[in-house]
Chain A
Amino acid sequence: DVKVTQSSRYLVKRTGEKVFLECVQDMDHENMFWYRQDPGLGLRLIYFSYDVKMKEKGDIPEGYSVSREKKERFSLILESASTNQTSMYLCASSSLTGAHSPLHFGNGTRLTVT
């Protein structure tokens, strides 16, 4: 079974703090994604990566950056956390083979910015 692990289940940070959300997958997947999920809005794509050191903006990249130095790890960075970034953050990975293979999600990080 694919395992996608997010480093924290719950986080509370203050406005202006720099926040790192870590995600690791163990299935040698090429693709990794960061989403946020908010009530009524569904999942919205922040950033994704198809390869090491490669990143692409999703629908809502503002206020976020990412890092993919190793294939198995994809980090989401909030340079200066704001209250409107309070959300559930979900990391996901998928295989490049068999195009459009489904996503496997981590169990999420619920971030509260006060």
Chain B
Amino acid sequence: RKEVEQDPGPFNVPEGATVAFNCTYSNSASQSFFWYRQDCRKEPKLLMSVYSSGNEDGRFTAQLNRASQYISLLIRDSKLSDSATYLCVVINNDMRFGAGTRLTVKP
């Protein structure tokens, strides 16, 4: 089993839709969690940290479920510019990346 797993997608959604991705992790001792966004042929960029109590940044909401060992990212009112690959990162003593979930938002 991979340490960090994501559904690769692609998720194809219309503008304005709400879409959610999950990322499961195998190490219950993992301590920190992040979501990154990566545009085609570009480097990953930090989207948001994931806090235990859940956190929101505009249209984006991140949640952590320690009991089930997954994190989630919810995007509301999706825009064309949200089209990208979303990578989850799980940290214990090192950083583990998921392979990414590809999102395409269509007009």
Contacts and interface: CB of A to CB of B under 8 A. Distances in A.
Interface of A: 33, 35, 40-43, 45, 48, 58, 90, 99-100, 102-108, 110
B99 interface: yes
B84 interface: no
B43 A107 contact: yes
Interface of B: 8, 31-32, 34, 41-46, 49, 87, 89, 91, 94-95, 97-100
B43 A90 contact: yes
A103 B90 CA distance: 12
Given A100-B32, A102-B34, A102-B49, A43 B43 contact: no
Nearest to A91: B43
Given A40-B8, A102-B49, A45 B94 contact: yes
8 contacts: A42-B99, A42-B100, A43-B97, A45-B95, A100-B32, A102-B46, A106-B43, A108-B41
B43 A40 contact: no
B100 A108 contact: no
A48 B95 CA distance: 11
B84 to A, nearest CB: 14
Contacts of A40: 8, 99
A103 B2 CA distance: 21
A35 to B, nearest CB: 8
